[in-house]
């Protein structure tokens, strides 16, 4: 059971759900379910983020709605065709937090030590890019790398969360590509400045295509990760090779700030981060979460004011 956000031909944002029987318009299904069960009372769901914020996002919710409707009517009119224009699953997060050096081999390939405690930094939400969107290489910044990451979406507000309770605060998972202006990052690190600008150019956070409820992937640590550029494998690992686990990361970050529903926690990248070039096709895949696919293009040089 995979959920996704998409844009209709009229430009409206809707929630879709992918099952073994195909893809369906869940927004419309939910409206019919509300009429049947609660006489129309209840929230309207046009955005996945709202489902997360109101604690309705789960595999159980999707199955209950679709199975209830199937018992009384066919769902053919809710079926979506293949020409879906995907949108970012969580389009307006308060925070996008990323973990650095959370795969031992990635730290070693850059000559860095594995940290004794998690290193986290931020990307700006304006960097978000949907599945099949175009990564734009800003002119004049030098090398730009891909970084495949598992993104954890927070499901409820919490502070000082113990690791033993961390799963209660997770809504689900999606795929992120933590695109990085590497030369700019190096210069900032050498000057002891934050990494923020090298991580936050527009289009530098492709995310999607799906948001999968955590109850659909109980063995997420075993999920295989692979990133390909033009069909050639560059990154390959499993989620379980992270230095700090998902519960440890949720707990650690929550000691420093309140986590809110819809916040995104990118959990680190495996070894094999390499430069992107205009014309590349990047495919970021995590088992159970689908394939996040993006083209790369060169940005235009801006004229002086």
pLDDT per residue over 96-147, tens digit each? 999 998 998 777 776 667 889 999 999 999 999 999 999 999 999 999 999 9
Confidence of residue 58 (pLDDT cuts 50, 70, 90): very high
Across the chain, what does the average pLDDT equal? 94
Q: Which of 51-55, 90-94, 113-117, 152-156 has the lowest mean pLDDT?
A: 113-117
Q: According to the model, what pLDDT value does residue 303 have?
A: 53
Does the pTM of the predicted model rise above 0.75? Answer: yes
Q: Is the pLDDT of residue 304 over 50?
A: no
Mean pLDDT over 67-93 rounds to 93
3 state SS of 27: helix
Q: Is the pLDDT of residue 13 over 90?
A: yes
At residue 302, the pLDDT reads: 66
pLDDT more than 70, % of the chain: 97
1-10, 32-41, 64-73, 87-96, range with the lowest pLDDT: 32-41
Q: Above 80 in pLDDT, residue 201?
A: yes
Query: pLDDT category, 83, cuts 50, 70, 90?
Result: confident
Ranking 109-118, 196-205, 232-241, 292-301 by mean pLDDT, the lowest is 109-118
pLDDT of residue 61: 96
Quick: pLDDT tens for 174-183.
Answer: 999 999 999 9
Higher-scoring residue by pLDDT: 115, 65: 65
Predicted confidence (pLDDT) at residue 301 exceeds the cutoff of 80: no
Which pLDDT does position 195 carry in this prediction? 86
Asked if the model's pLDDT at residue 290 lies above 80, the reply is yes
């Amino acid at each position: 059971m995979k959920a996704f956000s998409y844009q209709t031909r009229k430009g409206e944002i809707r929630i879709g759900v992918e099952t073994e029987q195909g893809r369906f318009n869940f927004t419309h299904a939910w409206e019919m379910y509300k009429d049947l069960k609660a006489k129309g009372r209840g929230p309207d769901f046009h955005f996945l983020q709202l489902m997360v914020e109101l604690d309705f996002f789960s595999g159980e919710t999707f199955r209950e709605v679709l199975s209830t409707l199937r018992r009384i009517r066919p769902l053919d009119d809710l079926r979506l065709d293949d020409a879906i224009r995907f949108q970012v699953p969580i389009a307006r997060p308060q925070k996008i937090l990323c973990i650095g050096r959370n795969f031992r081999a990635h730290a070693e390939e850059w000559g860095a030590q594995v940290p004794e405690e998690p290193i986290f930094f931020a990307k700006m939400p304006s960097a978000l890019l949907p599945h099949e969107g175009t990564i734009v290489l800003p002119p004049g910044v030098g090398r730009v790398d891909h970084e495949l990451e598992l993104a954890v979406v927070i499901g409820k507000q919490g502070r000082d969360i113990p690791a033993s309770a961390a799963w209660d605060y997770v809504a689900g998972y999606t795929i992120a590509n933590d695109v990085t202006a590497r030369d700019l990052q190096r210069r900032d690190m050498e000057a002891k400045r934050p990494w923020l600008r090298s991580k936050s150019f527009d289009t530098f956070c492709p995310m999607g295509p799906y948001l999968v409820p955590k109850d659909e992937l109980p063995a997420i640590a075993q999920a295989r990760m692979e990133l390909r550029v033009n069909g050639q494998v560059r990154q390959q690992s499993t989620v379980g090779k992270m230095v700090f686990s998902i519960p440890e990361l949720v707990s650690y970050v929550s000691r420093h700030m309140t986590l809110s529903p819809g916040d995104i926690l990118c959990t680190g990248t495996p070894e094999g981060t390499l430069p992107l070039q205009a014309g590349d096709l990047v495919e970021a895949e995590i088992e159970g979460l689908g394939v996040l696919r993006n083209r790369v293009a060169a940005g235009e040089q801006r004229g002086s004011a």
